[in-house]
Chain A
């Protein structure tokens, strides 16, 4: 069978169970696609030996009738996840050469579920970015183009390599992480599905920390069904993460009925920003009509503090990052600067961090340092945490009024060309996260579903936001939207 790499998780799983293909065949097909796609710079550490070894083991398990949920399915892992004995450097030069002695809980769970790791995926450095342009590995490139225009397009960020790899069929699915939109924005930019679960659903243990109160892992897939399958494998309580929720993980796939009759879908008026491109407004209106036609009740809602989500985020996330990234000191792991005669430990720290961190990471660490420094802690950090309380309350009020899910655009525009934002100030880039960041601040689950193309042929996505711990219901609503939208476009292969 040819083009096995183009399958999704569910289709491949079903073929494996029927004995119509093998994990080795699937894996070889993906490895071949990966080797032919160096131009995308999505896979930055390839692990073909590990992949084939796990594929053989998976085939043996399938034969014995002992196949767990993702047995034999080849996937990519974002470079932010620590993977035992395999380079894990969070796309930063400061972690160059770092090979963890341990495996992150999420990647271990995926391994336990039988999946096959193909390699590590490009991303923005320490997950700080919205275009994959801050990576120490260089840009990941989207397989999508603006028609015949050969301008390299961003796959989004920070999970840009994951998005590019899934959209280009280099793997069946990939892991991502999302602190302010880093799963949902790249998914929207590449015509793929990405879900960030409720804060606490996936263990953060072994995932390189950016902003611990916001970070969550999630799957990036080719369909909502695949997202349900993979999310279930990634979730679950972990004693090694003190914020991991001790809750049972439902069978998400079994909840995909497509029936959303009587569900109340909120349309938040504050998300209709001034200057919203007409294509995005239309996409949103069309999505609203689709849910209505599927039997949902559409209600206008207000989330009054929306405007303050990005500024609050750009206090809280850098503050937590400045603390988390203090560990990169040139002593225990990663890069250490070469020192001049007479340099002491302070010079070692300062030179190591100046050489090892890229400019966006340095900027955020310093902004975080500033907002936490004596005299400014109350004015910035505490105020931002109070605003965060209000943002969360906005959502609580809406859900208490009976709303089941909220529909918004996933991004304010389609993907932009790599380099096109170079001259913009940092705040302009931050605006990419305007529709997604509220969800992280409120700890809610959010999913991006591809629903259309822009005039230039680039994908656009809508976001659905759900109630805490209600990923099953959220996935079902997303499934209904996916069915109505019938998005089937794929990028034409140029790489």
Chain B
């Protein structure tokens, strides 16, 4: 599988990372190097093998579904680049 510039652009878009047009050829080439390395996995016979979901056999812990904390709006917003009137502020998302 070889990645061309338009695929590289699509991946950048999906990852929400702005990549300038002139940087795309180098990016596509890097992807191809890495994916070429990954291709080795095709040599392995994985017939009937379960994909790993948890490296240690365990059942995820459960807890009662109840409120255990809250009332810390100031702390939640303390690191926001733009917080106003108790909310995170972002550019307009609807016209």
Contact = CB atoms under 8 A, between A and B. Distances in A.
Contacts of A343: 91
B67 interface: no
Contacts of A305: 44
Contacts of A335: 81
Interface stretch (A58-66, A255-263, A357-365): A357-365
Contacts of B42: 383
Nearest to A353: B17
Nearest to B55: A443
Interface residues of A, number: 74
A363 B79 contact: no
Interface string B33-60: 1110111111110100111111110101
B30 A426 contact: yes
Of the four ranges (under 10, 10 to 19, 20 to 34, 35 or more), the interface on chain B belongs to 35 or more
A387 B58 contact: no
A193 interface: no
Given A311-B37, A344-B92, A390 B49 contact: yes
| B interface secondary structure, majority | loop
Contacts of B93: 344-345
A351 interface: yes
Contacts of B16: 326, 329, 346, 349-350, 353
B17 A426 contact: no
A307 B40 CA distance: 9
B33 A354 contact: no
Given A330-B81, A383-B41, A362 B60 contact: no
B84 interface: no
A344 B41 contact: no
Interface string B58-95: 10110100000000100110111110000010111100
Contacts of A98: 79
A386 interface: yes
Interface of B: 1, 3, 8, 11-19, 27, 30-31, 33-35, 37-44, 46, 49-56, 58, 60-61, 63, 72, 75-76, 78-82, 88, 90-93
